[in-house]
Chains A and B, each alone.
Chain A
Amino acid sequence: MARLQLSKLEKVYGGGFKAVHGIDLDVEEGEFMVLVGPSGCAKSTTLRMIAGLEEVTSGEIRIGDRIVNALPPGKRRIAMVFQNYALYPHMKVRSNLAFGLRLAHVPKAEREAAVQEVARILEIEPLLDRLPKQLSGGQAQRVALGRALIKKPEVFLFDEPLSNLDAKLRASMRVRITDLHKRLKAEGRPSTVVYVTHDQTEAMTMGDRICVMKDGHIMQVATPKELYDRPANLFVAGFIGSPEMNVIDGQIEGTDFRLGGQVIALDEAVLNRMHSKPQEAALGIRPQHMKLSAGNGLTARLRSAEFMGHEVYLHAMLEGKEITTVAGAAEYDALDRSDERIRLTPDLGHAHIFDRQSGRNVSLPLAG
């Protein structure tokens, strides 16, 4: 129930390796913030610094109006859910849930009431007298969630909590966690959440906002829709969305985008958006916005097709570069595949122009 602010947060390890490069991040009260990025992008390190499990080299962590840098984890009013549950193996579920309260000298009756309430919310009442080794993965994760919930913390921290579960369970736990977040908000005690994952589906479906990280830098912080529609740079463009955005290298000459022997005429819609004209440019366009066309458009050589049910992913080579496009199943059936050549028309309204050198999206308004 508090705002979380990171400012100029840095982490340098003993060997001089700089893991986190002075990041700034504001998480609003009651917001569900997802930190996402490939492995080694320091998202977990950042989370562990917020939790107090990792020392901060420089910078400031603020929860509510308190600077918590020097506080031990137990005093930061946070709760954390770990990837491998980290339940205390020798304690029954009941004691696992109540451990934090016991350390805080909460009277026994109150503790028991809190355990019952959390158990009811998470539907783990029948499991209270079991040991962690008698639980399945999903049950253990719910207990771990309960252990965080029972403390009524100001900030919830999740460290890849679902990555040890199978795909089906992961999907249902995803819904359960977001529901819980909404429910707490509706009950008038909104909880601030920082959720670390490497899975972009989790990030897109769960987050109010997403913070995309790479090599200890923040690449972009935005809502899922914004990230998808207006990626700030090549990294975000490639990381968010499945199948991946096509990035086609080329040069801008006047109003033309030239790639190898072919030319795309950039229309006003794109040109007006661009705030600079990079020498080495890249055109980014999602597979959904590369339409199959008859007669005109870019010529590509079809390599393979993946049948996904109602649509087909077509993989083709365009001027030596592999690109993907999505076609409807019927459209694919109607396609003349006799010479392996397909014609593609990019929907320039959804295209982005990136500066190859800096990776920045130059077709977005400059950040104000």
Chain B
Amino acid sequence: MTDISHASDVLSSGADGLAEARAANARQIRNAKISAAVRYIILFGVGLLMLYPLIWLVGASFKTNAEIFANPGFIPQEPTTEGYVKGWETSTPYTFGRFFLNSFLIIIPKVIGTAISCTMVAYGFARFDFPLKKLLFGSVIAILLLPNVVTRIPQYLLFRDLGWLDSFLPLWVPSAFAGDAFFVFMLVQFLRAIPGDMEEAARVDGANSWQTLVFIVVPMLAPALISVCLFQFMWTMNDFLGPLIYISSVDKYPVSLALKLSIDTTEAFEWNRILAMSVLTITPALIVFFMAQKYFIEGLSAGGVKG
């Protein structure tokens, strides 16, 4: 009899324990939900705060000039595309299309040149031994640390003597000769993380250095190369100082200068035109970024080789 009562004690205590465990689980799930909700509210709030100027920019580009400063909200009360139409026409003999074309005439050779030249230089530094390699790589790093400003004047004088002023050449030729130490450095680091075995296998298979580079190294380097191209694209699109220094004819202005142009020439600024053109200016960079986002992140996280 005592045994049986003892057993039932155990059973009931077992049931109690089960109920307790259930309650603890429920509590845990509830806490997790609350913490997730709080987290998302904070993230959403901060995100909105960061994005608000951009959202406002897009909204304001559809407002009338009078409304832009009258109303802090971003939803236009009387939406109009006047800013886009007039802004596209510009106050110059050229439309904004011309300035976009100019921008792309700089960006396309610069991005392609950067990708090719930096890959070759990085491959050389990462995989070959040659005299003065350490010194040369040291100077690459030194260039990386050098502020751009200090080279402006000597560069200007050089390009003036070459007769390249008021042309696109000073804006892209240096980059096409691996002039951007940052990209060289980035690719060297990426290459160092890729084991050399595949390249050795290719050499045994009969590939020379160029074939190894093109068939084996470049495909493995692709994520990093995409990052390089993206960075170069965005930085060139946004570059203001370079074109300002080297380009003097309005018909050669890229969009970054053209935007400033509309501020200069009108006395009463047509803000909605400027904002509308600003929206157009950032669009290509945004589109390219979202398209290549996946590779971009892969390329930035160093040593993107899966085991």
Q: Is there contact, CB below 8 Å, between B200 and A74?
A: no
Contact of A82 among B201, B206, B208 (CB under 8 A): B201
Q: Is there contact, CB below 8 Å, between A86 and B220?
A: no
Q: Is there contact, CB below 8 Å, between B206 and A88?
A: no
Q: Is there contact, CB below 8 Å, between A74 and B208?
A: yes
Interface residues of B in 44-93 (CB under 8 A from A): none
Q: Is there contact, CB below 8 Å, between B208 and A72?
A: yes
Least CB distance from B199 to A in Å reads 9
Interface residues of A in 58-91 (CB under 8 A from B): 72-75, 78-80, 82, 84, 86-90
Least CB distance from A90 to B in Å reads 4
Q: Is there contact, CB below 8 Å, between B206 and A133?
A: no
- How many of B's residues come within 8 Å of A, CB to CB? 20
Least CB distance from B265 to A in Å reads 52
Q: Is there contact, CB below 8 Å, between B203 and A72?
A: yes
Q: B131 contacts the other chain (Cβ, under 8 Å)?
A: no
Q: B234 contacts the other chain (Cβ, under 8 Å)?
A: no
Query: Which of A96-104, A192-200, A237-245, A313-321 lies on the face that meets chain B?
Result: A96-104
Q: Is there contact, CB below 8 Å, between A88 and B204?
A: no
Q: Is there contact, CB below 8 Å, between B205 and A90?
A: no
Least CB distance from B282 to A in Å reads 33
B-side contacts of A104, CB under 8 Å: 206
Q: A94 contacts the other chain (Cβ, under 8 Å)?
A: no
Q: A147 contacts the other chain (Cβ, under 8 Å)?
A: yes
Q: What total of A-B pairs shows CB separation below 8 Å?
A: 64
Q: A53 contacts the other chain (Cβ, under 8 Å)?
A: yes
Contact of B202 among A75, A79, A99, A133 (CB under 8 A): A99
Q: Is there contact, CB below 8 Å, between A86 and B197?
A: yes
A-side contacts of B201, CB under 8 Å: 80, 82, 86-88, 147
Interface residues of A in 100-126 (CB under 8 A from B): 100, 103-104
| Known contacts A89-B198, A133-B306; is-contact A73 B203 (Cβ 8 Å) | yes
Interface residues of B in 243-266 (CB under 8 A from A): none
Query: Which of B100-108, B166-174, B211-219 lies on the face that meets chain A?
Result: B211-219
B-side contacts of A51, CB under 8 Å: 200, 204
Q: How far is the CA of A75 from the CA of B205 in the complex (A)?
A: 9
Chain A residue at smallest Cβ distance from B205: A100
Q: Is there contact, CB below 8 Å, between A99 and B195?
A: no
Q: B121 contacts the other chain (Cβ, under 8 Å)?
A: no
Q: Is there contact, CB below 8 Å, between A74 and B197?
A: no
| Known contacts A86-B198, A90-B220; is-contact A103 B204 (Cβ 8 Å) | no
Q: Is there contact, CB below 8 Å, between A53 and B198?
A: no
Interface residues of B in 144-202 (CB under 8 A from A): 195, 197-198, 200-202
Chain B residue at smallest Cβ distance from A81: B201
Interface residues of A in 219-265 (CB under 8 A from B): none
Q: Is there contact, CB below 8 Å, between A90 and B204?
A: no
B-side contacts of A78, CB under 8 Å: 204
Q: Is there contact, CB below 8 Å, between A86 and B200?
A: yes
Q: Is there contact, CB below 8 Å, between B203 and A74?
A: yes
A-side contacts of B205, CB under 8 Å: 74, 99-100, 103, 147, 151
Q: How far is the CA of A303 from the CA of B207 in the complex (A)?
A: 59
Q: Is there contact, CB below 8 Å, between A100 and B206?
A: yes
A-side contacts of B305, CB under 8 Å: 89
Least CB distance from B173 to A in Å reads 32
Q: Is there contact, CB below 8 Å, between B211 and A84?
A: no
Contact of B206 among A53, A84, A90, A103 (CB under 8 A): A103
Chain A residue at smallest Cβ distance from B218: A90
A-side contacts of B306, CB under 8 Å: 133
B-side contacts of A80, CB under 8 Å: 200-201, 204
Q: Render A151-172 as a binary contact track against B, CB cut-off 8 A, 1 for contact.
A: 1000000000000000000000
Contact of A84 among B197, B203, B207, B215 (CB under 8 A): B197
Sample of 4 further A-B pairs with CB below 8 A, known A86-B195, A88-B215, A90-B220 = A79-B204, A80-B204, A88-B201, A89-B198
Q: What are 7 contact pairs spanning A and B, CB under 8 A?
A: A52-B203, A79-B204, A88-B198, A88-B202, A90-B220, A100-B205, A147-B201
List the 7 closest A-B pairs by CB distance, nearest first: A74-B206, A100-B205, A86-B197, A90-B219, A86-B201, A103-B206, A73-B204
Q: Residues on B close to A: CB < 8 A?
A: 195, 197-198, 200-208, 211, 215-216, 219-220, 222, 305-306
